Amino acid sequence: MHNLDEWQVPQRQSPASIFILFLKTLWETIKQFWFVLVIYLLKGRQAEQPFSFQWIIWGFIGLSFVITILKYWFYKFHIQDQNLHIYSGWWKRKHLTIPLKSIQAVHLEQSIWQQLLKVAKVSFDSSGSEQVEARIEALSLKKAEILKEILLQEAENNTSLNENGLPAPAENKKYQLSETDVLKLSLSANHLRAFFVLLVFAVKFFADAEELLDADQREAMEEFKNSTLNALSWLFFAVMFLLIGGVSVVVSAFRVFMEYYNFRMEETPKGWKVAHGLFTQKQKAINRSKIQLVTYRTNWIRNLLDFWFVDLSITGQDKLKKQARINIPLTSLESVQSLASQYLPHANIAKSGETISKAYWLRKTLTTALPMSLVLVGVLYLLSKDWKTSILTASVIGMYWTIHLRIWQKKFRWLAQEDGLVIFKGVWGKSYTLLKWQKIQQASFTQNLYQRRQGLASITFVTAGGQASIPYLPLTTAQMLVNQTFYRIESKQETWL
Amino acid sequence: METTFSNNLILLEDIPLIETVTYEPLERAYLKIQKIWFFILMPVFGACLITSFFFIEQIQYIWLMIAVGLAYVLVGLLYWVGEDLSFRYSGYAIREHDLLFKSGWWVQQVRLVPFNRVQHLSIEAGMLERRYKLASLHIYTAGSAEADFTLYGVKREIAEKVKDFINIQIRNTDIDHA
């Protein structure tokens, strides 16, 4: 057991950190002003400069050294009242407090310089620590190890809290996609994205190819365009459309096939193990307690085939895993519900939930569809120089957008249940979002001027893996939902990780 | 482990309501700091525009200069008025288990963060804030970028007190539920 007393006094980092900080600051300064150096180097060859390049370099070194000393001097840390306190900054003073109980892991790192100077960098893993740069650049190796032990001892005392509270599955369920399933999944993918990418590529290819032609060839091409193509323009565009459409279906189906070939999922005591891929095999372990938000969705073709994708928004302890989203394809709504029930056991997805105000689509039509259609008229006119076609095309798109918003608003449903929230939305396809109350980190309650006049409000619940929003609710309903949600999460000490 | 099931009646009056919360206003000095920044940034921005019109021949049109000038004045006015209105609406409230912060004037927003989700706390004060003895309290919850919650425009000692209060609340919650 180590003595905590010596850590209760604010202390600086090891003096060796001055060197480490200097290298870091110098690199950061060069990164900030690299363009000044490049301009100076390039211009220096052409004209006499007021300062020599050497002076510039010395300026950088001097500036970095001053910043380093200030950083070193104003950086202090200590442990007091079960918190790790870090003070930093000269221009902007900062006092960071990290409760020891929220520290999940402590890392000691040694670069080549740190090894030579016999010091170590100490960094802490706690949710949100990426945002606050909680680390000590250089501590003597012995001190760093003692600090690590003290902090980990505290973390260990709190590990009993890091359980989700959900029962472990009785049997290890296995799930696999057959080759026919993967083929269906590939063919039913959204091919529009691939289509637009290929369309842009084809237009660019023809534009570039035209530039490579000589004068005679270009003239022949113009003649071909004016005579043959004009006469057969609809046929030409139809063939091109079908050709690009066909190629995009093949390309995007192949991409999905490669991604989900040999998809296997196996339940483990802590969560699931997922493996898939044709050429590149991917394996993922999903910890059940780290799932923050679950969404399952299907597009209109997949809906006919009863094919679903489950998106698991998870949080992790490092930057790479942070807010990762894992997509799992499943072949029936029943399997989806069985999987989702491990997150929110009694999710009711019947379409009997509450609706949102009609004002949503009216307002969105005025603020998005209408202005964007007007902008589109301008853009199309610049491209085609034809007002009639531009107005007609923009009106059709604007009209579609308006109808899309109306259907979205009409179909939107939300249902607050005992242990969580279920949100349904979709126009062509379907999407269900499940949010467990205990996963909520914070909430926001928003009203624009229009909503205030109409007595409406929008609410957003933020989790560590993503967020769920309900727009344009009656004010009293929104207030009641926030009040009850916060009562629920504050009156029960349920862990979210 | 045996768990005890309870299903006590909760009276609706017992649930704390956000609509009845009384918010503490921000410090007047905070508005002063925002106005100082306005007087620093607007001339810099204006000087950049004038320099651009002076050196770039391709944009030297009278109509464009008038349009940009009008836009500059309009943005300045909107910012000035917006800051005043936003300041009037902004405020914070500390309840037993959470903190509320409201801001904005065109779009008004109330953000709520429960203390039992707080991961870290930090107090920051820039040069101007230190001059007026103000500070901002950053409250970090887990995960996403939106989870950073800032209580700005408060006196340094208030920020310290709120930070200590949240720390005590976090510890008490742990003890209560241990």
> What is the per-residue pLDDT for A102?
73
Residue range(s) defining the domain that contains residue B146: 91-177
> What is the per-residue pLDDT for A320?
41
Residues composing chain B: 178
**Based on the domain organization, do B157 and B80 belong to the same domain?**
no
Domain annotation covers residue B121: yes
Helix, strand, coil tally for chain A in percent (to 5): 50, 25, 25
pTM equals 0.76
Q: Which residues of chain A have pLDDT under 70?
A: 1-3, 40-51, 104, 125-133, 154-172, 210-212, 225-233, 316-324, 350-351
**Based on the domain organization, do A321 and A426 belong to the same domain?**
yes
**Based on the domain organization, do B99 and B168 belong to the same domain?**
yes
> What is the per-residue pLDDT for B7?
61
Closest partner residue to A128 among B110, B147, B163, by Cβ?
A: B147
What is the DSSP-derived secondary structure letter of residue A228?
Answer: I
Domain annotation covers residue B13: no
**Based on the domain organization, do B107 and B53 belong to the same domain?**
no
Domain annotation covers residue B17: no
Domain boundary among A161, A196, A216: A161
**Based on the domain organization, do A138 and A229 belong to the same domain?**
no
Residue range(s) defining the domain that contains residue A220: 178-260
Domain boundary among A230, A260, A290: A260
CA distance linking residue A23 with residue A72, whole number of Å: 13
Q: Which residues of chain B have pLDDT under 70?
A: 1-13, 143-147, 173-178
Q: What is the ipTM of this complex?
A: 0.84
> What is the per-residue pLDDT for A161?
42
**Based on the domain organization, do A351 and A440 belong to the same domain?**
yes
**How many domains does chain A fold into?**
4
**Based on the domain organization, do A229 and A374 belong to the same domain?**
no
Domain annotation covers residue B8: no
Cα-based distances in Å from A477 to A267, A357, A452, B110 = 39, 11, 14, 16
Closest partner residue to A127 among B10, B143, B167, by Cβ?
A: B143
CA distance linking residue A357 with residue A355, whole number of Å: 7
**Based on the domain organization, do A48 and A133 belong to the same domain?**
yes
Count CA within 13 A, CB hemisphere, residue A156.
6
> What is the per-residue pLDDT for A103?
76
Burial of A421 (C-beta count, 10 Å sphere; 0-12/13-18/19+): buried
Contact A486 B114 (CB under 8 A): yes
**How many domains does chain B fold into?**
2
Q: Say whether residue A457 is in contact with chain B using an 8 A CB cutoff.
A: no
Contact A463 B144 (CB under 8 A): yes
Contact B144 A465 (CB under 8 A): yes
Domain boundary among B86, B112, B127: B86
| B 18-47: CB under 8 A from A | 18-19
What is the DSSP-derived secondary structure letter of residue A91?
Answer: S
**A with B: how many residue pairs have Cβ under 8 Å apart?**
161
Question: What confidence tens digit (pLDDT) does each residue in A441-464 have?
Answer: 889 999 999 999 999 999 999 988
> What is the per-residue pLDDT for A319?
44
Burial of A46 (C-beta count, 10 Å sphere; 0-12/13-18/19+): exposed
Closest CA to A479 of B18, B160, B141, B80: B18
CA max distance for chain B: 81
For A493, name the nearest residue in chain B, comparing CA atoms only: B177
